[in-house]
Structure 1
Amino acid sequence: MHVEILLYDGFDELDAVGPYEVFETAGAFGADCGARLVTLEPSESVTASHGLRVGVDGTFYAGGAVDGGDSPPVLLVPGGGWSDPSRPGAGMEAERGAVPDAVAEHAERGGVVAGVCTGGMLLAHAGVLDGRPAVTHASALDDLRAMDAAVQDARFVDDGDVLTAGGVTSGLDLALHLVERECGRDVAERVAEEIEYDRETGPVEN
């Protein structure tokens, strides 16, 4: 499993870096698993919501396989900065439209998409949560309901080709769940032990 974590100015640091560490640790333990930090346009770095400047590995190509692989990667979209669209963050990206467009294109080509925190709102703006079970940060649940998602009371939701997680730290639970789903429970439990995280293992599944 390869995961592309799509960054934009104003993303929440832990939404992206937490899952990145989970996926890379799984790969270090021998699983077929890894991640890249990517942007839609070429960039050397992105500034996150708390001011952390993060280096970028490359650009994202919707629906395309990575490094000669046979299948498209998982696309993971972090959240951050939803409530004020005048400032860099998920709210601004929803209005710009480029990130939702990339999510929609990736999903149309058969790729798995995942949203952490208010990254789920960018999935909603892409149309991939219409009528489907989902969750996002508590502050945006009413907005998610207004976009026709079936909001769940859960840390994270697995609906097959679309996954969502609640606020910030729940991205760790989603990432560990994906590792278990694609690479096996033993790997996921070993990663959780390595990062000393007491994971939540009970998603909503349809």
Structure 2
Amino acid sequence: MHVDILLYDGFDELDAVGPYEVFQTAGAFGADCDARLVALDDRATVTASHGLRVGVDGVFDSDPSRILLVPGGGWSDASKPGAGMEAEAGDVPDAIAAHADAGGVVAGVCTGGMLLAHAGVLDGRPAVTHASALDDLRAMDVDVRDARFVDDGDVLTAGGVTSGIDLALHLVERECGAEAADRVATEIEYVRVDAPGRN
């Protein structure tokens, strides 16, 4: 499993870094799993919502063999860098739609789910986003669920911030096996929520 985490100015740090650590830890333990941080343009760094400057591994190329994970952040004020501004600009939703149209799997963490909705990939499908944006998601053609994360096959969404870790562990389990996911959860000392077969 190979994952591209798409960064943009104003993304929430943990939405991206939490899943990144899960995927990279799984790979370090021998699973066929890795992640890279990408942007839509050629740049060295991206500035996150709390001021963290993050290095970028490359430019997103919409390789459908890679899972595209989109973090959220900054949804409520589209005048500031964040998911709201990106939804209005349209470039990130266009990239998500193109990736899905090419047969790639897409995942949204927190209000990254709103960017998936603006891309049209959540139309008529079950999904969740951060609690602060649920009414916005309900206003679109989306089957909003009360869940920490939702797996609808080629489209996955997670609620707020730390639920991205649950989503990432779920993806590791789905693609690499339960043993790999359990080992990562133990390593990062994380108690899984909504994991298959667990309470």
Same fold (TM > 0.5): yes
Whole-angstrom distance in 1 between the partners of 2:21 and 2:95: 24
Q: Write the distance in 1 (CA, Å) between the matches of 2:29 and 2:166.
A: 18
In 1, Cα distance between equivalents of 2:11 and 2:35: 17
Corresponding residue SS for 1:37: strand
Aligned pairs, how many? 196
**Structure 1: stretches of 5+ with no match in the other structure:** 65-70
Among candidates 78, 95, 98, match of residue 105 of structure 1: 98
Deviation at 1:165, TM superposition (A): 0.1
**Aligned residue number for residue 57 of structure 1:** 57
Q: What residue identity is the alignment partner of 1:143? A: D
TM-score, normalisation: structure 1: 0.94
Q: Does residue 72 of structure 1 match 2:65?
A: yes
Alignment of 1:146 onto 2:131: no
Deviation at 1:201, TM superposition (A): 3.0
- Secondary structure of the corresponding residue to residue 61 of structure 2: coil
Residue number in structure 1 paired with 2:82: 89
SS in 1 for 2:115: helix
Q: Say if 2:148 and 2:194, in contact at 8 Å, map to a contact too.
A: no
Q: Find the counterpart in structure 1 of residue 119 from structure 2.
A: 126
1:15-36 Cα deviation digits (max 9, x unpaired) = 0000000000000000000000
Q: Structure 1: how far apart are the matches of 2:153 and 2:114?
A: 18
User: Residues 2 and 67 of structure 2 are in contact (CA less than 8 Å); yes or no, is this contact kept in structure 1?
Assistant: yes
Identify the residue that residue 170 of structure 2 maps to in structure 1. Answer: 177
- Counterpart of 2:181? 188
Q: Which structure 2 segments of 5+ residues have no match?
A: none
SS, match of residue 181 in structure 1: helix
Aligned equivalent of 1:67: none
Deviations along 1:120-141, one digit per CA (max 9) or x if unpaired, are 0000000000010000000000
Alignment partners' CA distance in 1, 2:43 and 2:156? 27
Correspondence 1:117 to 2:110: yes
Q: 2:161 aligns with which of 155, 160, 168?
A: 168
Separation (CA, whole Å) in 2 of partners of 1:5 and 1:157: 18
Three-state SS of the structure 1 residue aligned to 2:36 is strand
- Aligned counterparts of 1:80 and 1:119: Cα–Cα separation in 2: 7
Aligned equivalents of 1:115, 1:43: Cα separation in 2 = 22
Report the Cα offset of residue 202 of structure 1.
4.3
CA contact (8 A) 2:166 2:195 kept: no
Cα distance between partner residues in 1 of 2:123 and 2:71: 19
Task: Give the match for residue 68 of structure 1.
Answer: none
Question: TM-score, structure 2 length as denominator?
Answer: 0.97
Letter in 1 for 2:72: G
Offset of 1:200 from its aligned partner?
1.0
RMSD: 0.8
Q: Which runs of 4+ in 1 moved over 2 A?
A: none
CA distance in 2, matches of 1:183, 1:42: 31
Equivalence for 1:39: 39
